[in-house]
Structure 1
Amino acid sequence: MEDKLNVTYITLGGHVELQKYQYLYFVVMFTLYILIICCNSTIVCLIVIHKNLHEPMYIFIAALLINSILYTTTIFPKLLTDFLSETQVITYQACLLFQVFAYYTLAFSEFLLLAAMAYDRYLSICKPLQYPTIMTKKTVSVLLILAWLVSACELALAITLNANIKLCNLTLKGIFCNNSVYKIQCVSSVALSIYGVFILLNLALLPMLFILFTYTRILIICYRSSKTVRNKAAQTCLPHLLVLINFSCFITYDIVIVRLESDIPKIPRFIMTLQIILYHPLFNPIIYGLKMKEISEHLRRLLFQVKSH
């Protein structure tokens, strides 16, 4: 029974001087968590409330921001609890299901949502006459469902295959369960490694290549078009590209660098991990709130109303 418990529970050993700074960590991270929820929710509410924002482009942005809220919520409640706890432990089952599965499902959904947004911009700018007949409400709904369903199904199979693998180490070097969970398994499965590469190619690399292809086509069309078309493209496409570049950098760190975690000092690894879960969810609402003209106008009106009251 004791051996079973030892195998079931794992320790999250990536915290830095937690006993010394636990209350500071908690207050800072709780404040940032509330800020992430409020910023993302505000933009989503603006899109829902205002009818002129009920267009595919803004619906995809709302979905992306909802994804950011869910992405953050898979990590923060447990992290905040750990800051105030004497021990930072989690069951292996909860680690796989509530963090690894949810974290990577939402992370890869982000790429698929960005690919859907790129497709929407491509149709709008390069095929404006066909846009209304192709990008219907049904098409938008199908793209949104697939963005979450495809990644969830592929990750579910990976989690199922990992659930019964024996563990030889009960301490993760991170502050939450992610890719590093493979480091505590006794044997590295070749089949699982191949399937992991398949998921990475299918849910990250292919959407990224599709996005780059569509934006290349958009740039070519804009180069040949009028200044008005170029301005429209810059206004709507630049935020998506910035979000893609930002998120790709952090996912690259998570997928590649975590595999080499033994070579990374504890403090830099801790700082980089915090950036992964903080920077991107805060970056999305700021970039869309400031760079998307229609959203920024509604946001300014909202802030003006709040100040006047």
Structure 2
Amino acid sequence: MENGTMPSYFYFTLFNDFVHMKYLILILTLTVYLAIILFNVIILFVVFKERSLHEPMYILISCLSVNDLYGSAGFFPRLMVDLLFDTNTISRTACFVQIFTIYTFAMSEYTILTLMAYDRYVAICNPLKYHKIMTSKVTALYMALASLYAVFSMGLVIFFSARLPLCGTDIARLYCSNWSVVRLSCGTSTLSNNITGFFVTTTTVFLPAFFIFYTYVRILIICQKSSKEFRGKALQTCLPHIISFVNYSIASFCDIALSRYDSDKFKIVALIFSVEFLVIPPVLNPLIYGLNLPEIRKNIACLFQRSKVGHFPE
């Protein structure tokens, strides 16, 4: 492929290094995926059934669960098929579909965390105006606009990447990533890809991160001037979000940073960090919100108590 071609498939090379462990990895993968589905479906069910939870904060938590299910569906089923049938190859079309799914999941995760930070900022810093500013319609509008932007920006990224002639088919990952495809290009400038990627990363990662940091600085200032009881309630509602944001930011940063280097030098480290943002947040988020927020925790407890005695909520 010296002159560059448009290959009809890509080959995942990392599977060759874990052939002797594939069934163990398959069992772990299936277990984690089922846990992700179970935990997030419980959150969605509780929020949907309990009318007292039909508020912006809990609606955004539900959106986070939906997004985690969406991102997981773009990664886990394909991984399990590769492990079970030793295919290790993916068609060009399926590869770009996976890129679109995983990257829109990543963008939406940051968007939802940003909206959650704004929700907490309004609730704590402007409590009297909260119900006027954060309505269900406004929350839905913000989510719709953010989703449209994620779809449009990733469509643009894939448009530029799909046009590149490639001089290879080997991807040193467990899934398709945009940079893994772009780095296979030859004979063509990738300047437009780099500019588009930088713009999308800035608008969907760095700007939201800066905004979240700003909101928590303002929240901290308000809390310092308030009573101990107020600080305790503020911390109780903000702590789950802070944990989610820090966890996801670290996972995303490590993935972005390591993807630019030769993974052959540290395959295990690169492998762990390349899948962390697809594994840890979808598992951790429902546990964090389910265990830390009293309203959700109470309703989950009621749900399990009713199921034990054979009575389900109507």
- Report the TM-score range of the alignment, normalised by the length of the smaller protein: over 0.9
Structure-2 separation of matches of 1:247 and 1:227: 29
CA gap of 1:6–1:200, structure 2 versus 1, over 3 A, is closer
Equivalence for 2:71:
71
Structure-1 separation of matches of 2:49 and 2:8: 46
Equivalence for 2:231:
230
Unpaired segments ≥5 residues, structure 2: none
Deviation at residue 152 of structure 1 after TM alignment: 1.3
Deviation at residue 79 of structure 1 after TM alignment: 0.6
Deviation at residue 167 of structure 1 after TM alignment: 0.8
Deviation at residue 33 of structure 1 after TM alignment: 0.7
Structure-2 separation of matches of 1:27 and 1:234: 38
Equivalence for 1:249:
250
Summarize deviations over 1:29-74 as a string: whole Å, max 9, x none.
1121111001011011100100111110000000011100101000
Say whether the 8 Å CA contact 2:55–2:136 is kept in structure 1: no
Structure-1 separation of matches of 2:19 and 2:6: 24
Partner letter of residue 289 of structure 1?
Answer: G
Deviation at residue 261 of structure 1 after TM alignment: 3.1
Structure-2 separation of matches of 1:263 and 1:87: 21
Say whether the 8 Å CA contact 1:93–1:163 is kept in structure 2: no
Equivalence for 2:191:
190
Partner letter of residue 171 of structure 2?
Answer: L
Structure-1 separation of matches of 2:218 and 2:197: 31
Deviation at residue 138 of structure 1 after TM alignment: 1.5
Equivalence for 1:278:
279
Deviation at residue 17 of structure 1 after TM alignment: 4.1
CA gap of 1:69–1:202, structure 2 versus 1, over 3 A, is same
Say whether the 8 Å CA contact 1:246–1:280 is kept in structure 2: yes
Deviation at residue 15 of structure 1 after TM alignment: 2.1
Deviation at residue 307 of structure 1 after TM alignment: 3.8
Identity %: 37
1:96-245, aligned counterparts within 5 Å? 96=96, 98-178=97-177, 179-186=179-186, 187-245=188-246
Say whether the 8 Å CA contact 2:123–2:130 is kept in structure 1: yes
Equivalence for 2:14:
14
Q: What is the total number of aligned residue pairs between the two structures?
A: 306
Unpaired segments ≥5 residues, structure 1: none
Partner letter of residue 236 of structure 1?
Answer: T
Structure-1 separation of matches of 2:198 and 2:212: 20
270-279 or 85-94: bigger deviation:
270-279
Deviation at residue 262 of structure 1 after TM alignment: 3.5
Structure-1 separation of matches of 2:242 and 2:42: 22
Give the match's secondary structure for 1:184. coil
Say whether the 8 Å CA contact 1:47–1:62 is kept in structure 2: yes
CA gap of 1:264–1:65, structure 2 versus 1, over 3 A, is farther
Deviation at residue 24 of structure 1 after TM alignment: 2.2
Give the match's secondary structure for 2:174. coil
Summarize deviations over 1:232-275 as a string: whole Å, max 9, x none.
21011111111000001111112111111345322332233343
1:291-302, aligned counterparts within 5 Å? 291-302=292-303
Structure-1 separation of matches of 2:275 and 2:200: 24
What's the RMSD between the two structures over aligned residues?
A: 1.9
Say whether the 8 Å CA contact 1:122–1:215 is kept in structure 2: yes
Structure-2 separation of matches of 1:151 and 1:286: 26
Structure-2 separation of matches of 1:185 and 1:111: 29
Structure-1 separation of matches of 2:212 and 2:32: 30
Say whether the 8 Å CA contact 1:75–1:99 is kept in structure 2: yes
Partner letter of residue 103 of structure 2?
Answer: Y
Say whether the 8 Å CA contact 1:74–1:99 is kept in structure 2: yes
TM-score by length of 2: 0.92
Structure-2 separation of matches of 1:80 and 1:70: 16
The answer to whether the aligner puts 1:87 opposite 2:87 as a matched pair is yes
Structure-2 separation of matches of 1:124 and 1:203: 24
Structure-2 separation of matches of 1:180 and 1:162: 10
Structure-2 separation of matches of 1:241 and 1:69: 21
271-280 or 38-47: bigger deviation:
271-280
Say whether the 8 Å CA contact 2:157–2:197 is kept in structure 1: yes
Deviation at residue 27 of structure 1 after TM alignment: 2.1
Say whether the 8 Å CA contact 2:56–2:139 is kept in structure 1: yes
Say whether the 8 Å CA contact 1:6–1:170 is kept in structure 2: no
CA gap of 1:188–1:84, structure 2 versus 1, over 3 A, is farther
Say whether the 8 Å CA contact 1:39–1:285 is kept in structure 2: yes
Equivalence for 2:25:
25
Equivalence for 1:41:
41
Structure-1 separation of matches of 2:231 and 2:196: 41
